[in-house]
Structure 1
Amino acid sequence: MTRFLPFAAVALLGLAGCSKSDDAGTDSKLEVRLMDAPGNFRSVVLDVRQIEVHLKEENDPDGWKTLGFTPQAINVLEYVNGRSALLVSDEFAPGDLKEVRLILGPDSYVIGTDGQRYDLKTPSGQTSGVKLKLDKVTLRQRQTFQLLLDFDVARSIVERGNWNPNKDKKERYLLKPVIRVVAQDLRAGLRGTVNPAAALPEVLAIRSTILGPDTVSTWADASGAFQLNGLAAGTYQVQFFPSTTAPAGQPAYRVVTRTGIVVTNDNVTDLGTTALN
């Protein structure tokens, strides 16, 4: 279950009150975690108002169930490089989950690298809601199922083509959410560091599949560390794209590609240090 899907990712924040069956002894346990593939912003805050799950076939209007949670906002950039937010840990009646739908409020925003706040507009998410389809997600009796939501900030926040900085500083970005959904049994990962850390590169792990390249991304932090979780086993190409330029008098930062990186189930592969100059 590794795919990119349109979704106002972090909207599952605060998901708490899942339904319980009459016989708690046969319940499943549902855990939902959120992590982020960050973008070049200081903060990305999403305003989540309502969460629903669909338990029946796609076209059945009676399949939706509203989940009890407190509307709230979350800065998704707090959950990067292996850190995740536990959004749900509750008993849930066994069965199939078909879709998740969330409603976003009007107060989502980003803080750019310039320190300026820009409102995020999400037309579809503020009206009918944004849907995330789930493929073969089945909660079984007395089992814990974990759903990992990997929100891709860099792909989800799009700058308006006609934005004019001299007229409107609040209408710069649109939110067109992209999220990768990872099932519980995908627990492999990649980690490492880059040198120099000041290059602040975007890190892409690319695995070839019959459906085309499966790409997962993150950014190295200020210490040069990065980590990608929830990967499928396979052989990856890892690419590093510096987001800054080297100071005068120092070697230029360069794009680096490492090939033949083998990732196995239940293990985090350590790439060591990758030099970018």
Structure 2
Amino acid sequence: MKVNSQKVSLSLIMCLLCSILIFSCSKRDANNTGKSKVQIRLTDSPDPDVREVWVDVKDVLINMGDSNWTSVADAHTGEYNLLDLTNGKDTILADAEIPAGKISQIRLLLGDNNYIITNSGDKISLTTPSAQQSGLKVQINQDVTGGQLYRLILDFDAGKSIVKAGNSGKYILKPVIRVISFVPSGGNLKGVVLPDSVRTAIYAINGMDTVASTYTDTLNGNFFFNDIPSGSYSLSYLPEDTSFKATQQNVSVVLGQTAVADTVILKK
């Protein structure tokens, strides 16, 4: 099989999910809108002409409109077979806080172990000279407002990005990436249950459906639901100590905002 007869066409979606987390703590500003929560997700769609496509991710960086590039904390670096991330599957590349403000660019830094496996079993290395030196830059230029949650979707067109280097038999990865959308997505919900010594399960119920559930922490009785659909919810509380009881309360979650439930006092 000739290498140049292989048609490499696939989509790589990275979901950049930015949510502003507001924590209830007596020693911090209750609104705490100076930080945004960033999740970068990786997914793909199937390609019948290629068995595997491996990308070596070394770092994920972000630029907030100045000359400084900052590595996203706790990035999940490593080698990813993009064709494992199909049919709704994805993987988290990064999950960290960034300052609220304006996202100018993001950059994906690749290593040198990038390659494809054809259906005939041939392994073809992909060199990435520009990526190794400065990373794959994507222009974003979008404001991130405190208290809001955003989702950024990027399309990585590998069909246009894998280029044969003349008659050398080598292939170069020159990524073609475009922004598909950048919109607010979902909302957050937080609250407090007292006494904080009683660990309590909280269920967010919309109509007949339990959309999400969580537990209070053991320090302050805080709870937090991240990125749930907007709408009206009934909160049901179930203390681990069944001698305590609590009544349900209703709360509305608005797209891109953090709703605050009334503090619940457990009673025997």
Compute the TM-score of the two structures, normalised by the length of structure 2. 0.52
* Contact 2:36/2:97, CA 8 A, preserved across alignment: yes
- 1:216 is matched with none
Alignment of 1:176-187 (within 5 A): 176-185=174-183
Once residues 81 and 135 of structure 2 are traced to their aligned partners in structure 1, the CA distance between those partners, rounded to angstroms, is 20
- 1:98 is matched with 104
* Contact 2:13/2:44, CA 8 A, preserved across alignment: no
- 1:50 is matched with 59
For 2:123, give the aligned amino acid.
R
Once residues 11 and 119 of structure 1 are traced to their aligned partners in structure 2, the CA distance between those partners, rounded to angstroms, is 22
Say if 1:155 and 1:71 are closer, same or farther in 2 by CA, change over 3 A.
same
* Contact 2:62/2:107, CA 8 A, preserved across alignment: yes
Number of equivalences: 166
Say if 1:114 and 1:41 are closer, same or farther in 2 by CA, change over 3 A.
same
Deviation at 1:110, TM superposition (A): 0.9
Matched, 1:134 2:140: yes
Q: Which of the residues 150, 156, 163 maps onto 2:155?
A: 150
- 2:44 is matched with 36
Gaps of 5+ in 2: 1-10, 186-268
Task: Name the Cα RMSD after superposition.
Answer: 3.7
Q: Percent identity?
A: 34
Alignment of 1:1-277 (within 5 A): 25-26=32-33, 27-39=35-47, 40-57=49-66, 61=67, 63-68=68-73, 69-135=75-141, 137-164=142-169, 171=170, 173-185=171-183
Deviation at 1:30, TM superposition (A): 2.6
For 1:44, give the aligned amino acid.
V
Deviation at 1:178, TM superposition (A): 1.6
Once residues 155 and 38 of structure 1 are traced to their aligned partners in structure 2, the CA distance between those partners, rounded to angstroms, is 16
Say if 1:128 and 1:88 are closer, same or farther in 2 by CA, change over 3 A.
closer
Say if 1:183 and 1:29 are closer, same or farther in 2 by CA, change over 3 A.
farther
Which has the greater radius of gyration?
2
Classify the secondary structure of the residue corresponding to 1:106. coil
Classify the secondary structure of the residue corresponding to 2:50. coil
Deviation at 1:95, TM superposition (A): 0.8
Classify the secondary structure of the residue corresponding to 2:83. helix
- How far does the alpha carbon of each residue in 1:128-163 deviate from its partner, in whole angstroms, 9 at most, with x for none? 22211113x221111111112222222221233314
Deviation at 1:92, TM superposition (A): 3.1
- How far does the alpha carbon of each residue in 1:157-185 deviate from its partner, in whole angstroms, 9 at most, with x for none? 12333145xxxxxx3x2111122323343
* Contact 1:35/1:149, CA 8 A, preserved across alignment: no
* Contact 2:53/2:115, CA 8 A, preserved across alignment: yes
Say if 1:89 and 1:51 are closer, same or farther in 2 by CA, change over 3 A.
closer
Deviation at 1:37, TM superposition (A): 4.8
